[in-house]
Amino acid sequence: MSAILKDEGGAAIDAPKSNREYIERLMETGDCVRIEQEVDWDNEAGAIVRRVCELAGPAPLMENIKDYPGFKYFGAALSTYRRVAISLGMDPDTTLPEIGKEYLKRTNAEPIAPVEIDRAAAPCKENILMGDDVDLCKLPVPLVHDGDGGRYIGTWHAVITKHPIRGDYNWGMYRQMMYDSRTMCGAVFPFSDLGKTLSEYYTPRGETMPFATAIGLSPLAAMAACAPSPIPESELTGMLAGAPVELVKCETNDLLVPANAEIILEGEIIPDVMVEEGPFGEYTGYRTSPRMPRVTFRVNCITYRNAATLTISNMGVPMDEGQLLRSFSLGLELDKLLRSQGIPITGVYMHPRSTHHMMIVGVKVTYAGVAQQIAQLAFGSKLGPWFHMVMVVDETIDIYNWDEVYHAFCTRCNPERDIHIYKNTTGTALYPHASPHERKHSIGSKVSFDCTWPVDWDKINEVPTVVSFKNVYTQEIQDKVTSNWEAYGFAPVK
C-alpha cells in the first residue's frame, strides 16, 4: 500500500486542513470516539484524556460539557503514530520510519508561504468578544489534573508572537493557566524563542508584547508549534499539508493567526508583572515545577467559532501527544543537523517513553570519536536543552527496536571508556532529577553513551559475534523458517 493516500486526480498530499476535518478523518478510521453524555470540566474530562493516552485509545470528542452548552472538548489529538499518519494524509498503518521519511521529504522541499484572507471569510471570527464582554470564564477551561494550580486553557495550542525588529513570527506551545477572567500565566523558559525575545527586547524597555493564542488548530499547525524546526511555523505547516495556511489579522493587534482555529485569545504580555502559576502535571510524568511567579498574559479580545472545540493535552506518564510529537520532531531535526555536518549516521530516534530525554543515533563507524562528535553536536545545538542523554549505536542495530538498543547498551558500552558526562549545561525547570536550585536557574547536565565497537578493534578476531536469528544463519535458512512458521504450529508474527 502506498504511504501517501492519493485521490482520483493523483494528488500526492491529502492532509486535513482544520481540526474539524481531522476529527472527521479520525471518525472514518475508528481513531476517534464521540462522547455524548455530560462530562465535567472539573477533572473528569482530563481523566478521560489521560486514560486514553495510557491505553493508546481513540481520541475522545466530548460533546456535552457541564456548565458550557454549545462547546466541545477534543483530547489526545496526536498521541498515537496512527493519528500522526492520518494528520499527514497517510495511511493509518504506515510505519514510523516511513512517517519520518515522509516528514523529512516534505520539510526539505520548497517553502509554502501562508496566505492572508479577509476577516469576513475566517471561521474563527464567527463570535467576537471585546471590552467588558471579554471573560475567559465563558470558555470551558478544564482542570486537567487533580492537584494542578488552576484551570489550564492552553495545553494544545500555539502562542503566536512577532519579533519587533526582525519581524519573524513564532508559534510556540507555552502552557497557559487561567489566573482570572482576563489574565493567564505560564512557564516561558529563558532559552525558548519567546523567552529570548522577552529578555532581549521587551523586558529591558518595560513594554508590553502583543500575543495571540490559537486553540483548536489543524493537527499539522499544532505539530509545527511543537517542532524545533528553524522553518517559520506557518510555512512549515504549509509544507507538511502541501497547501498554504490561511491566516487572518487579529482584532486588537496586527498579528496573523490561523483562520480556521477554534478559539483565538488576543492580548499583550506584561513583562514587568508576574503572577503565580503552577504546579502542573508535565510531559516528564511528574509534577515538578513549583507554584511561582510566571509570565503574565492579559487578554483583550476573544474570538471563536460556532460550537467551538477546545483541545486538551493531558501531560503525564508516557505517552501523550506532547511526548510523541516532540520526540518525533526532535529526532528528525537532529537527523538533519548531523547529516548536514557529514556525519555518517544511519538514523535518529527518540523513543516517546523517554519523555523526549534520550536520543538514539545509529552511525556507520568509519573513524574514532564519532560518538562523542555526535553528542557534542546534539547537546550544543538549539535542540540541546530538551534532552540530556545521547546513545550511539552502530549500523547493525535497529534504532527502533528497543530490545536491540538495550542489548547494545548493556554489552558494548564500557563504563570507563564510553560514558561521557557534561556538567553545568542548559537544562529545563521540568527535569525531575534536577535540584530545586537547578530547576529555578535552568541548569542541567548531559551524558553520552558510546555503544559502538572501537574502530581499531579487528572485526574478525576482536569484535564479538552477535548470536541472533538474523546474524548467524544463512538467508536461505531464515527464509525457510519464516515461511514455515505457521506450519510449525506457531501463531502468526505481527
Predicted confidence (pLDDT) per residue in 153-191, tens digit: 999 999 999 999 999 999 999 999 999 999 999 999 888
Higher-confidence residue of 13 and 254: namely: 254
Return the pLDDT at 183. Answer: 98
pLDDT at 247 over 60: yes
- Please name the fold of domain 19-312: Pnp Oxidase; Chain A (2.30.110)
| Mean pLDDT, residues 207-233 | 95
Count Cβ neighbours within 10 Å for each residue of 121-155 and write b for 16 or more, e otherwise: ebbbbeeebeeeebebeebbbbbbbeebbbbbbbb
| Mean pLDDT, residues 31-44 | 94
Q: Which CATH superfamily is domain 341-470 in?
A: UbiD C-terminal domain-like (3.40.1670.10)
pTM: 0.84
What is the band of 236 on the pLDDT scale with cuts at 50, 70, 90?
Answer: very high
Higher-confidence residue of 296 and 382: namely: 296
Return the pLDDT at 11. Answer: 52
Return the pLDDT at 2. Answer: 39
Tell me the C-alpha distance between 344 and 367, whole Å: 10
3-state secondary structure at position 59: strand
Tell me the C-alpha distance between 326 and 84, whole Å: 12
- Alpha carbon 422 to its chain centroid, in Å, reads 26
Each residue of 297-313: pLDDT tens digit? 999 999 999 999 999 99
> Mean pLDDT over all residues of the chain?
92
Question: Contact, 280 vs 46, CB < 8 A?
Answer: no
Give the domain ranges of the chain: 19-312, 341-470
The CA-atom distances, in angstroms, between 309 and each of 157, 189, 472 are 12, 28, 55
Higher-confidence residue of 332 and 263: namely: 263
Return the pLDDT at 8. Answer: 39
Each residue of 311-335: pLDDT tens digit? 999 988 877 888 888 888 888 999 9
The CA-atom distances, in angstroms, between 376 and each of 131, 231, 277 are 52, 23, 35
In the chain, the percentage of residues whose pLDDT exceeds 70 is: 98
pLDDT at 289 over 80: no
Tell me the C-alpha distance between 358 and 331, whole Å: 10
Return the pLDDT at 181. Answer: 97
Higher-confidence residue of 189 and 338: namely: 338
Return the pLDDT at 235. Answer: 97
pLDDT at 7 over 70: no
Single-letter code of the amino acid located at 157: H
Axis-axis angle for helices 219-226, 233-241 (nearest 10)? 130
Each residue of 95-127: pLDDT tens digit? 999 999 999 999 999 999 999 999 999 999 999
Residue (of 72, 105, 74) closest to 88 by Cα position = 105
| Mean pLDDT, residues 207-221 | 97
Question: Contact, 246 vs 258, CB < 8 A?
Answer: yes
- Residues paired with residue 419 on neighbouring β-strands, in sequence order: 449
Q: Which residues contact residue 30 at a Cβ distance below 8 angstroms, ignoring those fewer than 6 apart?
A: 58
Higher-confidence residue of 460 and 377: namely: 377
Tell me the C-alpha distance between 226 and 88, whole Å: 15
